[in-house]
Amino acid sequence: MGEVLLECRHLKKYFDVPNGVLHAVDDISFSLEKGKTLGVVGESGCGKSTLGRTILRLLPHTSGEVIFEGKDILQYSRGEMKELRKKMQIIFQDPFSSLNPRYTVFETIREPLKIHKMFKTQEETNRRVRELMEVVGLASRYENTYPHELDGGRRQRIGIARALALTPQFIVCDEPVSALDVSIQAQVLNLMMDLKDSMGLTYMFITHDLSVVKHISDEIIVMYLGQIVEKARGDDIFAHPMHPYTKALLSAIPIPDIRYKGKEAETIKGELSSPINPKPGCRFAPRCPRATEKCRMENPELKDMGDNHLVACHLY
């Protein structure tokens, strides 16, 4: 096992809503080794983006710990957090709304360098911006271009360059390719994988697309309504899924072969249980074809089934 860069311990993020308390992130624990990629998957509303933002302290936490390089960053002061921002960054889902429409490409990438006073002279700062543009594959002719003049792929490259500006160690990638065309998705994913290898980055890659996460992740977490239901190595999740929810997600991945006549996809039926004031029991039970009375009464614990494959299910 390598050096652990980030560890979450019983992290919770609740929101007060008119009907009660919404459990967006509910008792999440995991560790992430340096230089690895952790995929976080689940359908919309499962809390994966909230998890990423709470880890980075873009949202205040309810309880728990986030240990980064051996220290609980949730206890950091504002000054300590500003210094930590150099080490932790985020690539947002929507490359258009995450960019300032009044800033050119050059100004957008230069902004974090100016805020953190990374260089003493403007010449050094400008040189670094041009280096970053080259690293992410943005031609120099786009320096004075505004976001609305570019396509989604180039906008996301600006977001990646901005995230890399301060040479971080850890980057939360919040669905960075979901808003892009499929052909552009492959280019951006390949770029991110190349950057990870060349710069020794550690990623937390959030997505709802399992076929995307398969190619980029060393380990995968499957989330359902704020909780982890399964965690394992990327190849292990695909070869031996254990939780009924994971199995249903995998069976829904389309196979690009017109000759393929396999079994039909497992559809998830039943009503989605509410994350507001959740009742005891497994949150997937109302939609699970194999649910028992125990599933409806007791919340399953995350258990290691061997080879570091964890699952939260009463069937095991």
User: Shortest CA distance to 68 belongs to which of 159, 3, 10?
Assistant: 3
In angstroms, rounded to a whole number, what is the distance separating the alpha carbons of residues 227 and 302?
Answer: 10
pTM of the model: 0.90
Q: What is the pLDDT of residue 186?
A: 84
Alpha-carbon distances of 122 from 32, 98, 102, 110, rounded to whole Å: 37, 25, 21, 10
Q: What is the pLDDT of residue 187?
A: 84
Contact 85, 166 (CB under 8 A): yes
pLDDT digits (tens, 9 = 90+) for 213-267: 888 899 999 999 999 999 999 889 999 999 999 988 888 776 666 666 665 666 6
What percentage of the chain's residues is helix, strand, coil (to nearest 5)? Answer: 35, 25, 40
19 burial type by CB count under 10 A (0-12 exposed, 13-18 middle, 19+ buried) = exposed
What one-character-per-residue DSSP string does 188-257 give?
HHHHHHHHHHHHT-EEEEEES-HHHHHHH-SEEEEEETTEEEEEEEHHHHHHS--SHHHHHHHHTSPPS-
What type of residue sits at position 304?
A: D
Q: What is the pLDDT of residue 65?
A: 96
Q: What is the pLDDT of residue 1?
A: 65
Q: What is the pLDDT of residue 306?
A: 86
Residues of the chain with pLDDT under 50: none
